[in-house]
Chains A and B, each alone.
Chain A
Amino acid sequence: MSENQEPPPTVSEGGEEKATTEGDPPAGSKAPSRSVSVTSDKSQISGKRSLEDVVPDEDAQEDRVGDWRNMRRIIAEDPEWSLATVPLLNELVVKHIVTNFENNSEVLKSLLSKHQKAVLEKISVDLPLKVTALLVEDEGFWQRCCKARWEICDVSAYGGSWKRMYMEKNLQQIIELFVPETTKPDQLEETLALSSNFINKLDIRQLLPPVREAPKGPDFDDISDAGSEAGDEPECDHFSFGPVLPKLPFLQELHLTYGVKDCGMNFEWNLFQFTSRDCLQLSQCVAACKTLKVFHLHKSKVDDDKVRVLISHILDHPGLVELDLSHNIISDRGARAVGKFLNNHSQLVRLNLCDNQIRVAGAQAIAHALTKNNLLQFLNLRLNRLGDEGGQAISRALLKNRTLVEVNLGSNDLAEPSAAILSQVVMQNQVLRSIDLSCNRLGPDGGKQLQEGMEDNSTVILMDLRLTECGQESEYCINQILHRNQEADREKRIKDSESVNALYKKSNIEPQAAHRFNLPPTAIIA
């Protein structure tokens, strides 16, 4: 502290002040005049520091030099005094724009890009869609909107576009909550008009029936259930897609479930009624929507007649690639219709008829269609009632078919003869890659036959034999073969993709030795 005496009086003053602040708060004789200034704070800090450090000379000196100007700038008697900088006019304007964005949103386009960004970061997510939908492209904003509205947001399911996600989810929500004849279509129409260009996919989990008998007591007896079950009137129609689908020019995927989610104890059969008029309307819509590629109709009690209506409408649909009618009650006649659909009247690549009631006849119809079809690659007949004969029919069809890549015959009550034919299929067919035979009573002999068949095969990489009672030994052998095939397949894919990724590899010079195992983007290993 001896050095403090030598420098000019201001410094010594600072030193004195420090000395005072060290000891007690700035309530001393000189303190009031400076209590407001920043220097006192800083000196306090430095004082604290000096308390902490045993030898604070350097720090003190540094601070003194740093604070010298501030210490000189002392304005007394001004309690409002603050050194916080006045915000820039830019910021003020941005702030203003943000607060009045709803009223004057067009100004956004005339802003500089950095100011645009600033505005977009600050505007509220609750702004009405009509303001933002066409105006804002910024993903950040839409991300904020999504996150504010839904907890789980998986943007990858929406092609990485937050805006699309928001639009689609918004529309889905509106449709799911739409009650025919009671809800006014204004909001729907408005939303449709605004978001039609961004909608690619509609995944509608529930469709509410019209509320006809408003206070239907939940604690009615069995009779009421029976009555409601019997009350199968044509008026009980759901939301009609007729006016909606034509307004969506880019729609590619449509997932529908005619049913009510979370009905709880308010269960009524007619909540889950897919009426024939619904079916007709839907079929017409789907047929009219030429852009559609994927059509799912789950858990909607679609029976044979409705399937026939649907199929008859979408016959020769130009774009439809995937059809999913799982968890319905389609049986042989419906299967026959589907068979006809498959038989060169569609572009179908993927067909899912899981959990229906298709029996031998239906299986035969589909098998027949399979022999003729040369587009279908994925077929799922899980949890039907094909029986062994149906299984045989399908298996024989597989002998001829050369396009099917994946087939699921799980839980179909197949037996040994099917396994025998399948072993032949496995031997001959070089296209088939995945066969699911779980939960069929193939028995040990069937297992042996399959094993024999598999030994001559090099393409099948997946064969599910769980709960087939085909014996552990053959299962083990088959698994080994499958593993071998998988490895071979992987090698092949790497080799194939090498040429494709040559460019990619060239552009990315990879570090050292990892290049051989660092797989290019196309080789995704299952």
Chain B
Amino acid sequence: MAAQNIKHALFCAVITLIISYPILGFNLEAQGINVTIVGANATTIMGVFLAALVVFVFQLFRDSIMGKLGNLSSLSSGTHKEPMAENKRVKIESWVLTGIVVLALFWPFFMSRGAVDLATLVLIYIMLALGLNVVVGLAGLLDLGYVAFYAVGAYTFALLSQYLGVSFWFALPIGALLAATFGLVLGFPVLRLRGDYLAIVTLGFGEIIRILLNNWTSLTGGPNGIGGIPDPTLFGMEFGRRVKGEGNTSFHETFNIAYSGEHKVIFLYLIALVLAVITALVIRRFMRMPVGRAWEALREDEIAARSLGLSRTAVKLSAFTIGAFFAGFAGTVFASKQGFISPESFVFLESAIILAIVVLGGMGSQIGVVLAAIAVTILPELAREFSEYRMLIFGAAMVLMMVWRPQGLMPMRRIHIELKKQE
């Protein structure tokens, strides 16, 4: 046992050296027109060896360390207990959600502009994750191209406003419906696919949309993106210093208050909040309806679901369509918030982040998704001072999280059954 551990630990340490030494141990320096390789300074090399040592020690005592972590997870709220009764759980969840929403309504009036802006982004991610949760968490269809529908929503609004002068409120349902249509269309070819194959095809679809937006320069402006996307209005009142749209009035003049840039930010935040709440409520409703149970049944066992007369086509397409619809919602809000969009906002990393939120939150659970969206959006911001190590820290946090609570922050009541390990 111990000998095996030492061998394994040694192996891991060597791998660490092999990987990190060439990356960190050499620097490329430009001298005139030539690039030369210079060995890194002593501290860096010391650091590399130290890292290898840390890996060695960790692997050596891996079993006891992981054992402790495992115990931690059983301490932290009854992982192994039967989940509480369904209606009690739903009640508690409803109360908690209501509390959060009330808090969120008043909160921005006391916060800085930057914080409210970030919170709006969190809300957008919540919408996205709630939508993807339908596809991945409930229906069990691994969709890696979800960002495509987000892009469809955003570009629908951007293009409609640029070419037809359509306002936010008109574009919102159009963007969502168009995204839903895309979801439906993508759904057809992937109906027969499952698991890895489905993931790859949806990944491809996401990339196709992005590349299309990037290269259709005449329509979308290509990599330059589309700017000047209007802000939402409140019953024809604009939030800018000067009124841009015909027939609109301005918010601060109507109410006879001093102009403040914060009004707009808070207004956008409130819109995002309302839309996120609507998203959560609608999806909750779906989960209770037969279609929601059909999603779960199909995820649990496709053959059994079909043997009961469920149509695979209808069930899968409904999940894809509804998920895409809310991505379109979020996309429209995003376009309005940014005022400028380009294909760069819709890269695969976005899909990955949204998926991470769903997995972190615990597949299928709404509160979990909300918490995870907050964590995943805020964490990189907090870690900003670590600059280039930001993503590294983010990644490490994810790994730790998965070790600590593989079932997510707040799993839906259905958790895996674990047999007690024999001592």
Determine if chain A interacts with chain B: no
